[in-house]
Amino acid sequence: MQQVQQIETVVPQASLQAAATVTQANLQAAATVTQANLQAAATVTQASLQATTTVPQASLQAEAEQTHADEDLVLQKALDQAASSAILASQNGADLSLTTDYNQWLNAKLQQSLVWLSNADRDNVSIQVLVRSKSAARELVYYLRKEWPLDLSKTYLYEVSTKERSIYRVFYSEFDTLSQGRNQLEQLPESVKVNSPYLHSVYRMQKALL
């Protein structure tokens, strides 16, 4: 009887030891898996942070490069404008073909014409040789610069606006007497005569255009 009790006591102890061994192994395995998962998660998080940091840096670098390019463009435009202004400032009677942009050329020619008219003798005469609508400004500039048969430095351009429309009036030269003006009127090229040119007093021009 005592021997049976000893056997029963030994068996539970062995079972407990085996169970304890299995539990410890499971805990170690679980701890190993958990540690591996944490390491993997940390690696993924670090990679994500690096990628997130790299993208903004690339974007900032691209924005910085674009900013520099924009600044260079603005600077170049400013230099071009300054150069154009320097040319226009010295152009009273100078070669307007130095200005390539038609708007700049047109504005310079209008200004040059006003300067001439302001200083012209009111008793003299000029010849109106052409009238064009303001909507045809580009074509007018091209014609004057490329195909105009008269001396462009003695050709004067004015913008006139009314309630009905805006036009450009083109005059040619300045003459001391009516007879000189009539002689020039008769000698105008046929391409100019088709515009029905006529003599106009400088005094009336100054009253109407200044």
39 and 108 assigned to the same domain = no
Please return the burial class of 22, using the count of CB atoms within 10 Å of its CB with bins 0-12, 13-18 and 19+.
exposed
The dihedral of CA 95, 99, 105, 110: what is its sign? negative
158 and 188 assigned to the same domain = yes
pTM for this model (two decimals): 0.55
**Structurally, how many domains does the chain consist of?**
2
User: In the numeric block, which tokens belong to residue 56?
Assistant: 């903004």
Identity of residue 199: L
Model confidence over 81-123: pLDDT tens digits?
444 444 444 444 445 554 568 889 999 999 999 999 999 999 9
Terminal C-alpha separation, the chain = 141
Q: Which of 87, 110, 83 is nearest to 171 (CA)?
A: 110
Transcribe 66-132 into DSSP letters. HHHHHHHHHHHHHHHHHHHHHHHHT-TTS-GGG--SHHHHHHHHHHHHHHHHHHS-TT-EEEEEEEE
Range of the domain at 53: 1-89
72 and 128 assigned to the same domain = no
Q: In the prediction, which pLDDT does 163 show?
A: 85
6 and 84 assigned to the same domain = yes
Q: What does the alpha-carbon distance between residue 186 and residue 183 come to, in Å, rounded to a whole number?
A: 5
Q: What does the alpha-carbon distance between residue 84 and residue 99 come to, in Å, rounded to a whole number?
A: 7
Model confidence over 161-185: pLDDT tens digits?
988 899 999 999 999 999 999 999 9
115 and 60 assigned to the same domain = no
Which of 29, 55, 89 corresponds to the end of one domain?
Answer: 89
Which of 64, 89, 114 corresponds to the end of one domain?
Answer: 89
CATH number of the domain enclosing 146? 3.30.70.1070
Phi, psi (rounded to 5 degrees) for 167: -135, 165
57 and 112 assigned to the same domain = no
Is the pLDDT at 47 greater than 60? The verdict is no
